[in-house]
Amino acid sequence: MSKEKEPIFSAKNFKYLTSPFSQNNPVIVQILGICSALAVTVQLKPAIVMALSVAVVTGFSNLVMSLLRKGVPSRIRIIVQLVVIAALVILVDQFLKAYVYDVSKQLSVYVGLIITNCIVMGRVEAFALGNKPWPAFLDGIGNGLGYGCILVIVAFFRELLGSGTLYGYQIIPESWYAANGGFYSNNGLMLFPPMALIIVGCIIWAHRSHNKDLQEK
């Protein structure tokens, strides 16, 4: 009697996709990918592009390595992982240069540094090499988007409070600014990397205060 196949979007598979958004978030729970979170969150647009780029690389690197997991000798698995991830990063980088060149210039070397992002390598090692392709793909996409969610939140506050804009559009009315007789001034400190770290710290505090399982005893 043949074994019944697990549904594509079973509760177990769905958890692989959703748990990185909160319960097992790579940034605020595992404390991974902090460097890029500080570097690309001055504005919302590059943060969104970076988030999607990491999600694509993480998802497809997990998928490819899961497909190859039984055929790659253990002694060269790290080299194979780096080749697969590097190839995906090059494809993403070329796509960005072709279709969103201005954002590609803003992200500069940080797209290339996805190769060394510990989230990408970590999910391949911890999950893709021990699981089937579909769960591995969902885990990769989930962790990439979970990482990206934090980037977008940090960028939202940094751009709004630091520049008065969101996605390049003026949000805070010009009449509010002190130069025009108003009461408001942009907080220039929000444009410096340490403020991104402070915002991430506040997110971690808020998240852990509402998740008792993550609190240290």
How much is the pTM? 0.88
Q: Is the pLDDT of residue 47 over 80?
A: yes
Reported as a pLDDT band with limits 50, 70 and 90, residue 52 is very high
pLDDT at position 106 is 83
Dihedral angle at the C-alpha atoms of 104, 58, 216, 13, nearest 10 degrees? 140
Distance CA 144, CA 20 (A): 8
pLDDT at position 2 is 44
The per-residue b/e assignment along 129-147, b for 16 or more CB within 10 angstroms, e otherwise, is bebebebbbbbbbbbbbbb
- The mean predicted confidence, pLDDT, of the chain is 88
Q: What is the pLDDT of residues 172-201, one digit of tens each?
A: 998 888 877 888 899 999 999 889 999 999
Residue among 77, 189, 70, 193 at smallest CA distance from 125: 77
Share of the chain above pLDDT 70, in %: 95
pLDDT at position 23 is 85
Q: Is the pLDDT of residue 1 over 60?
A: no
Taking residue 214's Cβ as centre, other Cβ atoms within 10 Å add up to 16
Reported as a pLDDT band with limits 50, 70 and 90, residue 217 is low
Mean pLDDT over residues 58-85, rounded?
93
Q: Is the pLDDT of residue 58 over 80?
A: yes
Taking residue 174's Cβ as centre, other Cβ atoms within 10 Å add up to 11
Q: Is the pLDDT of residue 5 over 70?
A: no
Reported as a pLDDT band with limits 50, 70 and 90, residue 6 is low
Give residues with Cβ within 8 angstroms of 55, minimum separation 6.
140, 141, 144, 145, 147, 148
Q: Is the pLDDT of residue 4 over 80?
A: no
For residue 143 the two structure tokens come to 């962790």
Reported as a pLDDT band with limits 50, 70 and 90, residue 156 is very high
User: Within the chain, what is the greatest distance between any pair of CA atoms?
Assistant: 80
Q: Is the pLDDT of residue 7 over 80?
A: no
What is the residue-wise DSSP string for 138-201?
HHHHHHHHHHHHHHHHHHHHHHHHHHSEETTEE-S-GGGBGGGT-SB---GGGGSHHHHHHHHH
